[in-house]
Chains A and B, each alone.
Chain A
Amino acid sequence: MKNIYYPYKAELTKIKDETSNIKTFFLKLSQPLTFKGGQFMQLSAPGIGEAPFTPSSEPGEVDEMTITILKTGRITDYLHEKVKPGDILGLRGPFGHGYPTHLFDGKTVLVIGGGVGLAPLRACLYALFGECYDRVNRISIKYGARSPYDLVFRDEYEEWAKKEKVDMSISIDRPHPEWEKGAFKFDGVSQTVGLVTVLLDNLDVDIENTYAVSCGPEIMLKFVTYKLLDLGFKPEQIYLSMNRRMSCGVGKCHRCNIGPYYLCKDGPDMCYADIMNYDPFGSL
């Protein structure tokens, strides 16, 4: 009988620094797997513990993947400080549903990310640029980070923005001398200063035919959601990558619930209409 708690071997092949506290880990899987953008993995630091992460690499059938990780506690500290290429880590998954790309036919997809939240969204973007590209109407990316140095995947924005159906704007929370000086200039990307919600001011999308997907800290998700609702989005049009403490990843340990939903099985990307009555931003 298959053991749902057993972590499969994955060899760490490379570590890339993204920012001062975010790194991307390149993994070679011991057996291929198929995942959808937004589905997550349980990554084991051997003997230390497991934590959930959404791969940041292109979805599909893969034997390699990348996971982009913010250093923030016991397991992520260990991953940032102790592991090195050649080490064997553990992986379970993929778990959860992933982004509802089947809904996006003929629609505009508004992708809103904050901080390391762009990592899971990058898998979604790869799906949008790939198998969904011909079907969607437009892809509008809004991304914010604390400072220019906290922007992840900086070397990819220009390439994304070049695509015909794509537009991208980014913001940093507070004015920064390097930003003003133009040291961080991305061709074709509109750049500003302010919390990520400023990127939603003067939004030029056809709201009725748009889906919003968002990933970032809970406080950001909260303000993004309220802003979108103000703008006339219906709760059904908003998908949020929610965060809850997880352990089993398979709907057993009863840790990751929002109301009757288990994020590990029903999410982690949840339609706001489903969770709005269950205090989704109650962690703050």
Chain B
Amino acid sequence: MKRVFLPEKKLKQFFSKISQEYELFACAKSEETNRIVRLDDIPEEFEFAPVRTAESLRLFLLKLRQLVAKYPSDEFKEITPNFPRRAVIGVKGCDIRAIKIFDEVFLNDPDYVDPFYKSARESLFLVSIDCTDALDTCFCNLLGDKPYAEEGFDINLSPVEGGYVAIAGSDRGDEILSSLSLSEAEQQAISQMETNRKTVLAKLEEINKDFKTEKSYRELLEASEGSNGWETAADCVGCGACTNICPTCFCFTLYDLKGKDANYRFSVWDSCQYSGFARMAGGTNPRRSLLERFKHRYNHKFLHYPIRYNGVYACVGCGRCIVNCLGKIDIRQTFKKLDEAAKTAVSKE
């Protein structure tokens, strides 16, 4: 697809074009913390968040509590997609990549497709925008990712002087861009886009230079059983904030209730950090201790998920879990400690 130029003054038109088909949300800049806001009216101008927002797209795809069945009535045997059509504008690369992690589980499974996820997913229109800054907690670069999206969006915008370099990533995105009669982006704008991308990447390299590990996260976990490098786990209180804020966590539980006229089944968010999560009848539990559950979260994201799904990590380096951890645990620090422990183990041999 070709790159076009969306001038700042056409932003309003861009918003209104999208709002004809979708309920409009956008990632807004704020002094405190960037948020996804609903735009009931089309704004004259809009200041997009330069980095990720506090919340991710997870709530747009997996409701906290979703009614999944009413039984024994036949009403829920088949699900007709009826999710509100929504567009989110200004999403960062990490959050776009996070959706791919859900897709593998809920959508691309050849055996079982989750109809509620599919309905929500297909109703979502995504416009990503390159990061123009980085937070101290951002570490997408350590995972080999970039501070911009390369796929998975309907439209991507790269902020440049006087507007945006825009590219469509889907037919729907292409239709919208085409309808605005935009001219092709000039070389100068494209160079600016590339310079910005490099600048942010360099900033990420600088932020994370002390967190670099010799071995990859996956290799570290492959050898981590019995490692004494799990130092950071001592500060975990098992609150589950890390999983609840995470854009890639998807654990849930099915919960049944008796109603007056029927029985109801809900799917509700859950967390592997809670002791009851895997507890079985009779009280046995494969992850009884806080440490086992702490390790499980890392193992799932950086070892088990990649084994199951094409080598991809179930973490996008957004750093939300770092900011929200009650124990002030930094995921990068956990791996750094494991890396150091692995090195000492080798030198002792």
B286 engages A50 (CB within 8 Å): no
A255 engages B278 (CB within 8 Å): yes
Query: How far, in angstroms, from A5 to B114 measured CA to CA in the complex?
Result: 9
Given the complex, which residues of A lie within 8 Å of B287, measured CB to CB?
A: 282
Asked whether A86 is an interface residue with its Cβ less than 8 Å from the other chain, the reply is: no
CB distance from B109 to the nearest CB of A (A): 6
Query: What number of residue pairs across chains A and B have CB atoms under 8 A from each other?
Result: 136
Chain A 79-117 interface mask (CB, 8 Å, partner B; 1/0): 000000000101000000000000000000000000000
CB distance from A212 to the nearest CB of B (A): 23
CB distance from A282 to the nearest CB of B (A): 5
CB distance from B30 to the nearest CB of A (A): 33
Given the complex, which residues of A lie within 8 Å of B119, measured CB to CB?
A: 1
Given the complex, which residues of A lie within 8 Å of B257, measured CB to CB?
A: 47
| Of listed A6, A88, A283, residue having the most chain B CB within 10 A | A6
Tell me how many residues of B have a C-beta within 8 Å of chain A: 55
Given the complex, which residues of B lie within 8 Å of A76, measured CB to CB?
A: 281
Given the complex, which residues of B lie within 8 Å of A282, measured CB to CB?
A: 286-287, 292
Q: Which of A217-270 contact B (CB under 8 A)?
A: 218, 243-245, 247-248, 250-255, 257-260, 265
A259 engages B115 (CB within 8 Å): no
Given the complex, which residues of A lie within 8 Å of B72, measured CB to CB?
A: 7, 9, 46, 88, 90
Nearest residue, chain A, Cβ from B306:
A260
Given the complex, which residues of B lie within 8 Å of A250, measured CB to CB?
A: 109, 111-112
Query: How far, in angstroms, from A253 to B267 measured CA to CA in the complex?
Result: 9
Asked whether A4 is an interface residue with its Cβ less than 8 Å from the other chain, the reply is: yes
A49 engages B256 (CB within 8 Å): yes
Query: How far, in angstroms, from A29 to B299 measured CA to CA in the complex?
Result: 40
Given the complex, which residues of A lie within 8 Å of B300, measured CB to CB?
A: 254, 257
B278 engages A6 (CB within 8 Å): no
Given the complex, which residues of B lie within 8 Å of A243, measured CB to CB?
A: 280
Dominant SS among interface residues on chain A = loop
Asked whether B258 is an interface residue with its Cβ less than 8 Å from the other chain, the reply is: yes
Dominant SS among interface residues on chain B = mixed
A5 engages B251 (CB within 8 Å): no
Chain B 59-100 interface mask (CB, 8 Å, partner A; 1/0): 000000000110110001111110000000000000000000
Chain B 259-281 interface mask (CB, 8 Å, partner A; 1/0): 10001110100101000011111
Query: How far, in angstroms, from A90 to B256 measured CA to CA in the complex?
Result: 12
Given the complex, which residues of B lie within 8 Å of A202, measured CB to CB?
A: none
A245 engages B280 (CB within 8 Å): yes
Asked whether B341 is an interface residue with its Cβ less than 8 Å from the other chain, the reply is: no
B256 engages A48 (CB within 8 Å): yes
B254 engages A248 (CB within 8 Å): yes
Q: Which of A1-38 contact B (CB under 8 A)?
A: 1-7, 9
Given that A245-B278, A251-B112 are contacting pairs, would A1 and B79 also be in contact in the complex, using a CB cutoff of 8 Å?
yes
Nearest residue, chain A, Cβ from B258:
A47
Asked whether A44 is an interface residue with its Cβ less than 8 Å from the other chain, the reply is: yes
Q: List 12 A-B contacts (CB under 8 A).
A: A3-B69, A3-B77, A6-B68, A6-B76, A7-B71, A7-B72, A46-B258, A51-B281, A72-B282, A73-B281, A254-B272, A283-B286
**Chain B: residues with CB nearer than 8 A to chain A?**
68-69, 71-72, 76-81, 105-106, 109, 111-115, 118-119, 225, 250-259, 263-265, 267, 270, 272, 277-282, 284-287, 292, 299-300, 303-305, 307-308
- A254-B300, A255-B270, A283-B286 are known; give 5 further A-B pairs, CB within 8 A: A47-B257, A76-B281, A244-B280, A248-B252, A251-B111
